[in-house]
Structure 1
Amino acid sequence: MSLWADKYRPKTLADLDYHADISNKLKRLSTSGDFPHLLVYGPSGAGKKTRVMALLRELYGSGAERLKVDVKTFQTSSSRKLEFNVISSPFHLEITPSDMGNNDRIVIQDLLKDVGQTESIDFTGLLRGNDQKAVSSNKKKFKVVVINEAELLSRDAQAALRRTMEKFSANIRLILVCNSTSSIIDPIKSRTLAIRVGLPTVEESAKVFEEILQREHVANKVFPADEEERRILFGRVCEAAEQNLRMGIMMLEALYMNNEKVSSGTEMIRPDWEIVIDELASGIIKDRSVVKLQHSRSVLYELLAHAIPAKLILKRLMLDLWTDLDSFGALKDKDGVKRKMVSAASTFDERLSLGSKDIFHLEGFITRVMVIVEGELTK
């Protein structure tokens, strides 16, 4: 049984419930004779990846959904072998080079070089389905490579990517997916068509929630029948999920799974990792000791072991510390402490990008915060 977020993920551009202007733009691009490299960016949970997959289906038909996972082996200059997972269909590849850390340049150079040097083969004759005619008419002479988390690519990897875009543009098209373009180098920005996918509004998210519940007949009976009460509940879900639609759908399903009856006042079910970071931030402000620092290390290890990204931990920790400082009255200059904490967060965020041991930089940030707070205490 799949989660609602996956079960009801739109398959085509026509199925998308919001940002109709973006869907229309992508549809026109798919039917034009000149498909450009794309840079799709926007907040997490806005629907970037869903739109990219719908675009691939528009380009190639249902064959783009026939996915398999391959393990590619790469060799570094020091003869060390690296294994890298590649998700592929007959028409496209999906990669996340940032998983390789500072070796992402090798993935970009070797993998994209192999793809770019191979001319696309027409698979339409092998496909059998209702949309075979559509696939044939939309046949493209290039293969698409989707690069996830493009903002985490190193400068060397981005430079290699720029050269690849120029050299193999006849056989390959890149779709870069990222949350922010701030760390993307200008030469790549100038060679791509940027498309921003913003978060849905509360009303748009509520419409999606309603459509899911209408299709989940058993779950629908658990939620309030009154339209006004349901609207209030959907608004609270959006607020708790920070308008992240994927997170909102998962929270909606969690409410159904953990309650016999859901009302507009039912307590929201938050992800465990958020609660853990909230408690960690509160403890750092109140107890600035070596014992607390050792305990923090254990908590950080646990978060990293559960695949919570280090940058997300740092961001959430910083936001929670900012909030907790407002209720901590033993500081001489509260605004000054906040400025110093933001400066420290930016420093260690950069170090997370440059370094390879995330635990060192996260623990370093916590230590710096403890020193900052300790230095501003009223005597």
Structure 2
Amino acid sequence: MSLWADKYRPKTLDDLDYHGKISNMLSSLATSGDFPHLLFHGPSGAGKKTRILATLRQIYGPNIEKLKVDPKVFVTATKRKLEFNVVSSPNHLEITPSDMNNNDRVVIQDLLKEVAQTETIDFTHVADHKNRFKVVIINEAELLTRDAQAALRRTMEKYSANIRLVLVCNSISSIIEPIKSRTLLIRVAAPTDEEMGSVFEKVLRDQPEVAKSFPADETERQQIYSKIAKVTDHNLRTGLLLLEALYSYNPSITTKTPMIMPDWENVIKKLAIGIVTERTVSKLQQSRTDLYELISHSIPAKLILKKLTIEFWRLVDEDSKIKDKDTVKMDIVQQASIFDERLSLGSKDIFHLEGFITKVMVVLEKNVS
């Protein structure tokens, strides 16, 4: 049994429930035979990857769903061997070079060169043999180092006849201008409350037994949907998971039913509260346990840093003992930006997260009356 987020994931552009203009544009690109490099950007859970896969399905047909995972071995300049997993179908590849940290340039140079120099042989599902190229999806493009982005730019210029690149990122602020100018930028905004509600209604119509647990009144259901949208920051994927969790844990769901938060978010909230209330060395030592626990459960260090920063902001606003709250919040953001960069450059995430917490303790200690 698959999760609702996977079960109800649209497979074609016609099945998508919102951002109709983007779907129409992608459909036109897929049939035009002049498919450019693309740069999708927007918040998590907005539907970027779903739209990309639906577009590729229109170009190549169901072949795009015949996925396999291939381990690739790359050799760095220091003769160090690195193993990297590549998800691929007969017509496309999906990679996340940022997983290799500072060695992402090696992946870009070697893998894309290998793919670009090998022409696609299977044209069974390619109409009129127009699209004689492979598509490479690059996840988390905003985390690529400058060297990797420079290598990517050269690849786009040299091998554009054989490959098309589709970059996926949350923000384009760290993408270099030469890449932006060589791609078609497509922003996929987060769905609104109403758009998320329409998706949830579609799921409930397909699950009559589940629908019985929700209010019969449409207004009450919309209130529940709005609460889900707010709690998940309009992340549709997380919203579907939360909707399924609410049904699993509650025989009857009303507007007063408490939302279910992920355990890791609760851990971060408690960690932030402890740091604001007790700025001591012993508390710093205790925080290491929580950080290790989060990292060991595959919570990205940058996400931990982001969530901690947001929690610190909220707690500073609520704490009456803190003087000059605006200055404190700006100092916290400044420290977050410093350690965000260090997380990209370094290899031991725990050191940088602990360093951030220490700096926040110092900022708070100087401004507590």
- Name the TM tier (shorter chain): over 0.9
1:122, distance to aligned residue in structure 2 (A) = 2.7
8 Å CA contact 1:281–1:321 kept in 2: the answer is yes
1: CA distance, partners of 2:271 / 2:119: 53
2: CA distance, partners of 1:30 / 1:359: 44
2: CA distance, partners of 1:173 / 1:357: 34
Output one character per residue of 1:69-97: Cα deviation in whole Å (capped at 9) or x when no partner: 11111111121111111000000000000
1:58, distance to aligned residue in structure 2 (A) = 0.8
Q: Given the alignment of the two structures, is residue 377 of structure 1 paired with residue 368 of structure 2, yes or no?
A: yes
Which residue among 245, 253, 273 is the counterpart of 2:236?
A: 245
Q: Given the alignment of the two structures, is residue 368 of structure 1 paired with residue 359 of structure 2, yes or no?
A: yes
1: CA distance, partners of 2:173 / 2:129: 34
Partner of 1:168: 159
Q: 1:86-97 residue pairs with structure 2 within 5 A?
A: 86-97=86-97
2:212 partner SS: helix
Q: Given the alignment of the two structures, is residue 224 of structure 1 paired with residue 205 of structure 2, yes or no?
A: no
1: CA distance, partners of 2:123 / 2:21: 31
1:138, distance to aligned residue in structure 2 (A) = 6.3
1:238, distance to aligned residue in structure 2 (A) = 0.8
Output one character per residue of 1:279-304: Cα deviation in whole Å (capped at 9) or x when no partner: 11111000001110011111111111
Partner of 1:128: none
Partner of 2:225: 234
Partner of 1:18: 18
Q: 1:125-204 residue pairs with structure 2 within 5 A?
A: 135-137=126-128, 139-204=130-195
Unaligned runs of 5+ in 2: none
Q: Given the alignment of the two structures, is residue 265 of structure 1 paired with residue 256 of structure 2, yes or no?
A: yes
Partner of 1:107: 107
8 Å CA contact 1:39–1:195 kept in 2: the answer is yes
8 Å CA contact 1:38–1:193 kept in 2: the answer is yes
Alignment coverage as a number of residue pairs = 369
2: CA distance, partners of 1:355 / 1:182: 21
Which residue among 196, 206, 212 is the counterpart of 1:205?
A: 196
Partner of 2:29: 29
Structure 2 CA distance for partners of 1:102 and 1:19, relative to 1, 3 Å: same
Partner of 1:7: 7
1: CA distance, partners of 2:30 / 2:323: 59
1: CA distance, partners of 2:59 / 2:75: 34
Q: Given the alignment of the two structures, is residue 80 of structure 1 paired with residue 80 of structure 2, yes or no?
A: yes
Q: Given the alignment of the two structures, is residue 306 of structure 1 paired with residue 297 of structure 2, yes or no?
A: yes
8 Å CA contact 2:33–2:130 kept in 1: the answer is no
Partner of 2:269: 278
Alignment TM-score, normalising by the size of structure 2: 0.98
8 Å CA contact 1:122–1:139 kept in 2: the answer is no
Partner of 1:288: 279
Unaligned runs of 5+ in 1: 125-131
8 Å CA contact 2:41–2:187 kept in 1: the answer is yes
1:139, distance to aligned residue in structure 2 (A) = 4.9
Give the partner amino acid of 1:119: E
Output one character per residue of 1:287-323: Cα deviation in whole Å (capped at 9) or x when no partner: 0011100111111111111111111111110010000
1: CA distance, partners of 2:250 / 2:130: 49
8 Å CA contact 1:209–1:249 kept in 2: the answer is yes
Alignment TM-score, normalising by the size of structure 1: 0.96
1: CA distance, partners of 2:106 / 2:215: 54
Query: Root-mean-square deviation (CA), in Å?
Result: 1.0
2:39 partner SS: strand
Give the partner amino acid of 1:313: I
Give the partner amino acid of 2:88: S
1: CA distance, partners of 2:2 / 2:328: 46
Query: Which range is displaced more, 345-354 or 164-173?
Result: 345-354
8 Å CA contact 1:60–1:139 kept in 2: the answer is no
Q: 1:54-69 residue pairs with structure 2 within 5 A?
A: 54-69=54-69
1:8, distance to aligned residue in structure 2 (A) = 0.4
Output one character per residue of 1:308-353: Cα deviation in whole Å (capped at 9) or x when no partner: 1111111110010000112212223222211111111111111111
8 Å CA contact 2:288–2:354 kept in 1: the answer is yes
8 Å CA contact 2:37–2:165 kept in 1: the answer is yes
2: CA distance, partners of 1:71 / 1:342: 38
8 Å CA contact 1:43–1:199 kept in 2: the answer is yes
8 Å CA contact 1:98–1:153 kept in 2: the answer is yes
1:242, distance to aligned residue in structure 2 (A) = 1.2
2: CA distance, partners of 1:273 / 1:139: 47
Give the partner amino acid of 1:75: V
1:356, distance to aligned residue in structure 2 (A) = 1.4
8 Å CA contact 1:10–1:16 kept in 2: the answer is yes
8 Å CA contact 1:59–1:138 kept in 2: the answer is no
1: CA distance, partners of 2:190 / 2:208: 27
2: CA distance, partners of 1:235 / 1:202: 5
Output one character per residue of 1:205-241: Cα deviation in whole Å (capped at 9) or x when no partner: 0000000111112211111111111111111111111
2: CA distance, partners of 1:333 / 1:90: 59
2: CA distance, partners of 1:138 / 1:367: 59
1: CA distance, partners of 2:30 / 2:141: 22
